[in-house]
Amino acid sequence: MGKKFDYTRFARRFATRFPFLTFILSQVSFWLIAYVLLAILAHLLLLTAGPSLRASISLKANIVLAIFVGFFNGIAAGLVGLFFEKRFFYNKSLGIIIFGKAIINLVIFIILLSVVRSVLYPFLMEQMSLKEDPATAQQSWDAFFYFLLIFNIAAGLLINFINQVNRKYGPGVLLPLLLGKYRKPREEQRIFLFMDLHSSTSLAEALGHLKYSAFIRDSFMDINSVIPDCNAQVYQYVGDEVVVTWTLEEGLKDLACVRFYFACEARFASRSKHYLSKYGQVPKFKAGLHMGIVTAVEVGDIKRDIAYHGDTLNTAARIQGVCNEYNKRFLTSRYVLDHSGLQNFYETESIGTIRLKGKTQPVEIVSIESNPTPQ
């Protein structure tokens, strides 16, 4: 029997390898669906006006126009989201971002509609041997412009909402969520990494709460920049702690769950001048890693989310909690060591079998160092 297709895994891998293409394709798909549906609905609505209009209405022409406008509007929306927001709207207020993108989208919309009016529409009329009454043409196009403008604003708000939901849950999660995949609890094999800022209390006192919050923000932004390369997924942020997760296959492939921590350290080191000049300290995180069976379920009503429950998360959190006690920055369980073979690629040291807080059975803890072992 063939391996079952996992849409979420495929979507996440594709988004990791081709982030630019993924976003553009998603925007094109959304706008194509929106405009094709509009063309069909408008066609059906006009047919109700009576037999006199049916001879001059072509669904084929409407679909062609819808595909043209939807395709190029989707590309334009994708480019605006990726280029302008990252290069010009970065660190700007939400109001400026919304206003700026609205102006840019309006300009693009007017250009597209002008092309349709002066080039594409006359071509289709000629190809289909349809005639237009010049006396009513301008009046019809004026009404058509305002109609599409209102539709564009409404569709844009809906698509931007979908984009934000997609960003919250990550690639490949929205569709399974809509289909009710997590409505009932389901077991999954996952890896969890708990990363907590080292010496957070003393750092908060030294910086003050406003500057400390900015420090946390910058740290998390740098952590997020590493996530695509390691196929990771942020589960949640809790204060100065970030919890990252993988499916078993994604996390163990090329030891992505271990590489992620050291990639974050390398990212902080490469940005050390920024942190030292602004905060006087480079971020240092302590981490705990564990894997096993968890239960995934959609929770909440006013605010919905996908929650993971189980001993795996508790163990990973407890392992991270003893980093200071043993003066180690990255600890994992012996169970991870035995099932990943990471000792063949990284220096490891057994801390011993200890009883973690809240657990009845002792767990052997192992530290992981960044220096790869010689092969």
Least confident piece of the model among 68-77, 90-99, 333-342, 349-358? 90-99
Residue 247 neighbours by CB distance under 10 Å: 19
Which of the two residues, 168 and 154, has the higher pLDDT score? 154
Report whether pLDDT(41) > 50: yes
Question: Strands (DSSP E) along the chain, which ranges?
Answer: 186-197, 233-238, 241-247, 285-299, 305-309, 330-333, 348-354, 363-368
CA distance to 45, 89, 100, 214, per residue, from 95 (Å): 37, 10, 8, 20
Categorize the per-residue pLDDT at 47 as very low, low, confident or very high, splitting at 50, 70 and 90: confident
Q: What is the pLDDT of residue 98?
A: 60
Residues in the chain: 375
Report whether pLDDT(234) > 80: yes
Q: What is the pLDDT of residue 44?
A: 80
Q: What is the pLDDT of residue 169?
A: 67
The domain ranges of the chain are: 7-169, 182-368
What's the average model confidence in pLDDT over 149-165? 77
CATH number belonging to the domain at 182-368, selected among 2.40.50.140, 1.10.640.10, 3.30.300.30, 3.30.70.1230: 3.30.70.1230
Query: Smallest Cα–Cα separation from 242: which of 274, 218, 275?
Result: 218
Least confident piece of the model among 9-13, 84-88, 224-228, 241-245? 84-88
d(CA 336, CA 319): 12
Tokens found for residue 362: 């002792």
Q: What is the pLDDT of residue 121?
A: 67
Q: What is the pLDDT of residue 134?
A: 47
Instruction: Give the chain's mean pLDDT.
Output: 80
Residue 323 neighbours by CB distance under 10 Å: 21
What's the average model confidence in pLDDT over 160-188? 73
Least confident piece of the model among 16-25, 67-76, 128-137? 128-137
Report whether pLDDT(176) > 90: no
d(CA 11, CA 3): 16
Q: What is the pLDDT of residue 265?
A: 94
Least confident piece of the model among 260-264, 334-338, 351-355? 351-355
Categorize the per-residue pLDDT at 375 as very low, low, confident or very high, splitting at 50, 70 and 90: very low
Least confident piece of the model among 198-202, 282-286, 298-302? 298-302
CB 234 within 8 A of CB 220: no
Categorize the per-residue pLDDT at 45 as very low, low, confident or very high, splitting at 50, 70 and 90: confident
How wide is the angle at C-alpha 114 spanned by C-alphas 56 and 75, nearest 5°? 105
Query: Smallest Cα–Cα separation from 190: which of 339, 322, 319?
Result: 339
Read off the DSSP letter of residue 281: S
Q: What is the pLDDT of residue 139?
A: 66
Contacts of residue 16, Cβ cutoff 8 Å, sequence gap at least 6: 171, 228, 229, 231
Q: What is the pLDDT of residue 15?
A: 72
Residue 206 neighbours by CB distance under 10 Å: 13
d(CA 296, CA 100): 39
pLDDT tens-digit map of 278-297: 999 999 999 999 999 999 88
Q: What is the pLDDT of residue 4?
A: 61
